[in-house]
Amino acid sequence: MMNREPKQYSSGEVLAPPTERYTILGWLHKNLFSTWYYTLLTLVTLYILYAILKPSLIWIFTQAQWEVVVANLRLFMVGQYPKDQIFRIWLALDLLAFTVGLAWALFLPKERRVGAVLVIIPLLLASLPFISSYSRINWILFAAIGVAGWALGRWQPKKMRRPLIVLMLGYFPILILLISGFEPILKLVKTNYWGGLLLTMLLAVVGITLSFPLGILLALGRQSELPIVKTFSILYIEMVRGVPLVTILFMAQLMLPLFLPPGMKIDNVLRAMAGMVLFAAAYMAENVRGGLQAIPKGQHEAAWALGLNGFQTMFYIILPQALRNVIPVIVGQFIALFKDTSLVAIVGLLDLLGIASTVLAQPEFIGRQREVYLFIALIYWVFSYAMSYASRRLEVALGVGER
C-alpha cells in the first residue's frame, strides 16, 4: 500500500484511433464552409457575433468607468471584514495553497494544469495594476507556498501522505476558526462583518461540505428498510424539494426568530447557512439515490458472498461506485448552490450581490450598475467554470464513463 506507484491503465494495451490532420484551409473548409448552407450559417453567425461583440468591447474598454470596481475592490472581496484582520483570510488561502501543492505532488503528479492554476493564476493576479502592494505580496507568497508544498511532496512523498490527509480533513474547521476567530488568540469577527466574495464562498463551502454527507445519509435513509427512517427521509426530501430556496431563506430569516423561545437567538448568517445546507441536502440525496440505483444487484450479492456486512458492503462496494457515477450531477449541483448563495442578498445579507447593491448606493458611484454587475458576473463565472473544469478532470482521472 505504501509504495504504490500511480498506474496508467489505458496506455499500452489499447492504441488511440489515428487523428485526422488538416491544413488550416482544409479545416476551415470542412468545419465552416463545406456546403452552401453551412457557409451561409457561418457568415450569419459571424455577423451576429460581430454585431454583439463590437459595441460590448467598445463599451468595456472606452466608455465604462471602472473606478467603482477598483475603489471598492476590498469591499467586493471581503466586505466589512476588519482591515487589520485580513491577514487571517490570507493565512487560510496560504494553507489552501500548501494543501493543494502537496496533493498535486502526491496524487496527481502528471497533472501539469494544477501547477498552472497554483502558480500562474496568483502571479497573474499579483501583476494586476490596481491592487494594493499588500495583496500583491500575498499573492506571490500564495504561489510560493503552493510550490513549497509541491516540493515537499516530491521530496518526501511517503512521509507527507498522512499530514496531507489530516490537512484535507482539517481544512474546513481550520478555515471557519480562522475566519471567525477564537478568543483569546484571534479576535472574534462577528458574522455581520463577513461580506462580499468571502461570504459567498463561505456560504458555498459550508453548504457543499455539510450537504454532501447529509445528502448521502438521506439517500441511504430513503433506501432503508426501516419504516421510520424511510418515511422521514422521503418526507424530508419531498417537502424540501417542493419549496423554492428563497422561501426557505425567508422562513429562516423572518419566521424562525418569531418561533424561537424568548431569549434564544440564532445569528442571521448561520440561519442562512443552515437553510442552504438543508435545502441542498435534499437535492443531493436524490442525486446520490440515482447513483445507488444504478448499481446492479449483483454487486450487493457478491459483497455478501465475500462475507462483508451491511456497513462494509455499503461503504466499500456500493457507495464508491455510486458516487463515482454521479460526479457530474453532484458538481452541477455544487455550481448551482454556489450561484444560489446570491439569494441571501434578498434577505439582507451583504454577499457579493448584496455588497454590489450597497456599492451602487455610494453617492459617487450612483448609476454604475453595468460595471458593477458585469464585474460580479465575471467573478461568478470564473468560479463556476473552475468547478466545472475541475469536475471534468476528476472524471477523467477516475475513468468515469470508460467502462
Partner 1 sequence: MSKRVFYFLGVLLALGVLLAACSGSAQTSSNPQAVQTVVVTVESNASSGYGTTLKAVKERGYLICGVNAQLPGFGYVDKEGNYKGFDVDYCHAVAAAIFGDPSKVEFRPLTAKERFTALQTGEIDVLIRNTTWTLTRDTELGTNFAPTTFYDGQGIMVRKDSGIKSLEDLEGAKICVATGTTTELNLADQMAARGIDYTPVVFETADQVFGAYEEGRCDAVTTDKSALVSRRSTLKNPADHVILDVTLSKEPLGPVVRQGDDQWFDIIKWVVFATFTGEEMGITSQNVDEIKASTDDPNVKKFLGLEGEMGQKLGLSDDWAYNIIKYVGNYAEIYNRNLGPDTPFDLPRGLNSCWTDGGLLYAPPIR
Rule CB under 8 A: is residue 247 a binding residue for partner 1? no
Unique residue bearing C-alpha cell 475603489: 71
Rule CB under 8 A: is residue 12 a binding residue for partner 1? no
What ranges in 16-116 are assigned the alpha helix state H? 24-31, 36-58, 67-71, 73-78, 87-107, 112-115
Which residues, 52 to 91, sit near partner 1 by CB under 8 A?
Answer: 71-72, 74-75, 79-81, 83
Identified binder of partner 1 from the candidate list 52, 168, 235, 396, rule CB under 8 A: 168
Rule CB under 8 A: is residue 183 a binding residue for partner 1? yes
Count of CB atoms situated within 10 Å of the CB of 264: 8
Closer residue to partner 1 (CB): 49 or 306: 306
How far lies 52's CA from each of 43, 58, 63, 64, 358, in Å? Answer: 14, 11, 16, 16, 30
Give yes or no for a contact between 176 and 273, defined as CB atoms under 8 angstroms apart. Answer: no
The β-bridge partners of 351 are: 196
Closer residue to partner 1 (CB): 90 or 172: 172
Which residues, 317 to 356, sit near partner 1 by CB under 8 A?
Answer: 319-320, 323-324, 346-350, 354-355
Smallest distance, partner 1 to C-beta of residue 245, A: 16
Closer residue to partner 1 (CB): 9 or 36: 9
Closer residue to partner 1 (CB): 55 or 348: 348
Backbone CA torsion sign across 133, 134, 136, 137: positive
Which residues, 189 to 218, sit near partner 1 by CB under 8 A?
Answer: 190-192, 206, 209-210, 212-213, 216
Q: Compose the 254-273 pattern: x for residues touching partner 1 by CB under 8 A, - for all others.
A: x--xx-x-xxxxxxx-x---
Q: How many CA atoms lie within 13 A of 394 on its CB side?
A: 15
Closer residue to partner 1 (CB): 41 or 166: 166
What ranges in 260-368 are assigned the alpha helix state H? 268-293, 297-305, 310-312, 319-325, 327-340, 352-359
CA-to-CA distance for 162 and 240, rounded, in angstroms?
A: 39
Q: By CB under 8 A, which span of 13-21, 237-245, 280-288, 314-322 interacts with partner 1?
A: 314-322
Rule CB under 8 A: is residue 180 a binding residue for partner 1? yes
CA-to-CA distance for 154 and 363, rounded, in angstroms?
A: 53
Smallest distance, partner 1 to C-beta of residue 107, A: 8
Give yes or no for a contact between 27 and 34, defined as CB atoms under 8 angstroms apart. Answer: no
Q: 32 Cβ partners below 8 Å, 6+ apart? A: 38, 39, 42
Q: By CB under 8 A, which span of 40-48, 141-149, 249-257, 379-387 interacts with partner 1?
A: 249-257
CA-to-CA distance for 188 and 254, rounded, in angstroms?
A: 26
Smallest distance, partner 1 to C-beta of residue 323, A: 7
Closer residue to partner 1 (CB): 43 or 270: 270
Identified binder of partner 1 from the candidate list 22, 27, 316, 381, rule CB under 8 A: 316
Which residues, 104 to 133, sit near partner 1 by CB under 8 A?
Answer: 107
Smallest distance, partner 1 to C-beta of residue 63, A: 12
DSSP 129: T
